[in-house]
Chain A
């Protein structure tokens, strides 16, 4: 009698709100939280690879090892600006769909997809014009593996964006209330963007 916690009682009283659910997956939508938790794991892969890069760098007598051609900064610099910019662009799509503006959603997702494609094209252009191959030395190997692994994530982000665009063609598939796909693609895109910034600083600047 003496140990009742009002806050908990309050919560118990609300339990009836949940009773209506009957289906297998009928509960509030936790998919966004799931995506965020999953991105923690994704982040840890990159953290592992970044740490490995730092370790190789610490162990090596000179860094980059002798005979490594200097990296060109202009193209990756432009690429970085494009990718960071795309994070702001994609956010407009989120704002648009929250106002039920599907056309705005399509427009901004389309622009983001184009910017992502330009980034990937720039990345490939850089690969083909670098003077070192994958197995030239430890710097070259880490460079290709890190940027390549990130590039794969950009590809996957593009696929997500295209999927959202495809689904947005169905009338009322996304609306101001229900737009998980939009948010998931956006969060993923921001993640890919943040990883790139770290990667760029690690490989090109420091």
Chain B
């Protein structure tokens, strides 16, 4: 049993009674951040399944070189809507809205978000918008790719185009409102005594994410406004024949959409930091390095966008600038990767499904990161631009990265959210099916791209047929892999083994209340008796804190987790001057 977890649990009073309301609440305009978080998670997972069906259709078409499954126009719509759904209706709202909403107030010891009604509003924009986007298949779905570049988007069917633009504007609004809420909540509502450097790392990453969403999303809205004028009224903002310039659209678009990549991965980084530390029973390696690298990624992420446009006539000096900034951004990312590896190193790994997905995340994200550094270099990018190499890269960071992280988060926080454990056997089956299916589906795409197979075309040179068939088999395996997860989650939610309040013996505050937490989260304001990652910190604290002159005193020499004082009187523990040495031994 971990001493630190015991200290933290005994310093906090568990809330009791006050169980969350019945199922109808989940279909209402609830202002409880936990209900909203679950609403986000379930809704976005539903859209993930829809996006998955679209992806499976795309891969079915690509199983053979000929365009024989759907028409080319339908194929265009399939991959366009697939990408839009996965990005704007699954990963962004799932990671920030879902896990962010559920966890941030709990982690910082707050009763709710700063603006609960705004929070509910931000969520309720999403389901109708998602349905509207789906309905575009009835009127001719958008088919210009998720980037929707003009002039292609200007010659596409107008109804589908406008539905796409409106969806993006609405989902962007939702994302901005959520970001405002997170920023104010994290800055203002932390439990007294929790400085920024005592926050769990997920809070840091959500802070960075929210700043990116706040700053970048409006620029996309600007681009969408101009584009809708071009589509509807016939202005020529992005139409060279009228004096406009399609490149300006690309700049505005990527000014959002590259930071969007970090909006999709930073929350996952935060979740991985939590999972890795808890499940290897070790303090996180380099807390400040991980925390501040999130902020560095947030800053740098705003000045790398034109690496998507190396072949769009970007002048060489500008390419040089964006090549360098893009490569620089791999430094803070690498800092995180190495910190996680150092945390895992020599840890007592419990090999639960959550940790498996976290380690799967690290493997796959490193591959995606390396192919990212490759495509950052201009000459290589010119070779593989718009080929399957880019498709492989982006799926390694977005699926191998974000989705694996989201799955890890589901397994890790499911006991807290539902009060029940998930089945480990099913979880492991889910992990291996996903891991194998994923690599089967996307690894061959690197080779396809290097050999020059273009993306976004329904038919291809027969010489690519074998590799494409492997990809399609992998995609089917990936589709099948969601079944054990859905079965596991549904069954565990209804019948799973009761989890108790802190099944992982974790230290962060969301575990210091009942599972599921009551409406106001905590009975009394929670207290920080330990740092967020002080697993097994006894020996380390001894080295740090004990004055040499007092090394003989057994209470002191064993450090804060000494058995001699493992049961601090709660009254004493609640008094900062008596528990101060445990609260702040991180410094």
A134 touches B581 (CB 8 A): no
For residue A11, which residues in chain B have a CB less than 8 angstroms away from its CB?
192-193
Given A1-B581, A33-B188, the answer on whether A25 and B112 have CB atoms closer than 8 Å is yes
B116 touches A24 (CB 8 A): yes
Distance between Cα atoms of A47 and B180 in the complex (Å): 18
For residue A138, which residues in chain B have a CB less than 8 angstroms away from its CB?
236-237, 242-244
Find the A residue at minimum CB distance from B249. A52
Closest CB in chain B relative to A132 CB, distance in Å: 12
For residue B188, which residues in chain A have a CB less than 8 angstroms away from its CB?
27-28, 30, 33
Distance between Cα atoms of A22 and B518 in the complex (Å): 13
For residue A142, which residues in chain B have a CB less than 8 angstroms away from its CB?
237
Distance between Cα atoms of A49 and B559 in the complex (Å): 58
Distance between Cα atoms of A51 and B247 in the complex (Å): 13
Mask, A1-41, CB within 8 Å of B = 1, is: 11111001101111100110110111110110110011011
Mask, B177-219, CB within 8 Å of A = 1, is: 1011101100111011101000000000000000000111111
For residue A52, which residues in chain B have a CB less than 8 angstroms away from its CB?
222-223, 226, 237, 248, 252
A4 touches B243 (CB 8 A): no
Distance between Cα atoms of A47 and B556 in the complex (Å): 58
Contact of B155 with A by CB under 8 A: no
Distance between Cα atoms of A92 and B252 in the complex (Å): 39
Closest CB in chain A relative to B319 CB, distance in Å: 17
For residue B229, which residues in chain A have a CB less than 8 angstroms away from its CB?
134, 141, 145
Contact of B577 with A by CB under 8 A: yes
Stretch at the interface among A54-62, A123-131, A171-179, A187-195: A54-62
Find the A residue at minimum CB distance from B576. A12
The contact of B192 among A15, A46, A134, A149, by CB within 8 Å, is A15
B234 touches A135 (CB 8 A): yes
For residue A56, which residues in chain B have a CB less than 8 angstroms away from its CB?
237, 243-245, 248
A55 touches B251 (CB 8 A): yes
Contact of B67 with A by CB under 8 A: no
Contact of B426 with A by CB under 8 A: no
For residue A60, which residues in chain B have a CB less than 8 angstroms away from its CB?
243
A30 touches B581 (CB 8 A): no
Distance between Cα atoms of A1 and B581 in the complex (Å): 5
Q: Is the interface of B mostly helix, strand, loop or mixed?
A: helix
Contact of A137 with B by CB under 8 A: yes
A45 touches B577 (CB 8 A): no
Contact of B40 with A by CB under 8 A: no
Interface centre among A19, A40, A48, A145 (most CB of B within 10 A): A48
For residue B552, which residues in chain A have a CB less than 8 angstroms away from its CB?
none
A45 touches B576 (CB 8 A): no
Distance between Cα atoms of A59 and B240 in the complex (Å): 10
Given A25-B116, A33-B188, A52-B252, the answer on whether A9 and B243 have CB atoms closer than 8 Å is no
For residue B195, which residues in chain A have a CB less than 8 angstroms away from its CB?
8
The contact of A8 among B118, B193, B216, B222, by CB within 8 Å, is B193
Distance between Cα atoms of A3 and B32 in the complex (Å): 38
A24 touches B112 (CB 8 A): yes
A14 touches B192 (CB 8 A): yes
What number of A residues sit within 8 Å (CB to CB) of B? Answer: 52
A59 touches B580 (CB 8 A): no
The contact of A41 among B176, B255, B585, by CB within 8 Å, is B176
Closest CB in chain A relative to B72 CB, distance in Å: 32
A141 touches B237 (CB 8 A): yes
Contact of B520 with A by CB under 8 A: yes
B580 touches A30 (CB 8 A): no
Contact of B486 with A by CB under 8 A: no
Contact residue range for chain B? 35 or more
Find the B residue at minimum CB distance from A52. B248
Distance between Cα atoms of A65 and B184 in the complex (Å): 45
B580 touches A2 (CB 8 A): no
The contact of B525 among A9, A19, A33, A137, by CB within 8 Å, is A19
For residue B32, which residues in chain A have a CB less than 8 angstroms away from its CB?
24
Given A1-B545, A15-B193, the answer on whether A37 and B183 have CB atoms closer than 8 Å is yes
A41 touches B180 (CB 8 A): yes
The contact of B226 among A9, A43, A145, by CB within 8 Å, is A145
Given A1-B545, A52-B252, A134-B233, the answer on whether A34 and B184 have CB atoms closer than 8 Å is yes
Given A134-B235, A145-B226, the answer on whether A41 and B248 have CB atoms closer than 8 Å is no
Contact of A44 with B by CB under 8 A: yes
Contact of A72 with B by CB under 8 A: no
For residue B576, which residues in chain A have a CB less than 8 angstroms away from its CB?
8-9, 12-13
Closest CB in chain B relative to A5 CB, distance in Å: 6
Mask, A91-113, CB within 8 Å of B = 1, is: 00000000000000000000000
Closest CB in chain B relative to A146 CB, distance in Å: 10
A48 touches B255 (CB 8 A): yes
For residue B544, which residues in chain A have a CB less than 8 angstroms away from its CB?
3
Contact of B225 with A by CB under 8 A: yes
For residue A22, which residues in chain B have a CB less than 8 angstroms away from its CB?
520
For residue B525, which residues in chain A have a CB less than 8 angstroms away from its CB?
15, 18-19
Q: What are 21 residue pairs bridging A and B, where the CB atoms are less than 8 Å apart in the complex?
A: A1-B547, A5-B584, A11-B192, A12-B193, A12-B576, A30-B114, A30-B115, A30-B189, A33-B188, A34-B114, A38-B176, A41-B180, A48-B252, A55-B245, A55-B251, A65-B243, A135-B234, A138-B236, A141-B236, A142-B237, A145-B225
The 7 closest A-B pairs by CB, nearest first: A48-B222, A48-B219, A15-B192, A138-B243, A44-B218, A12-B576, A45-B218
Known: A24-B519, A25-B112, A41-B217. 5 other contacts (CB 8 A): A4-B584, A5-B587, A44-B216, A51-B252, A52-B248
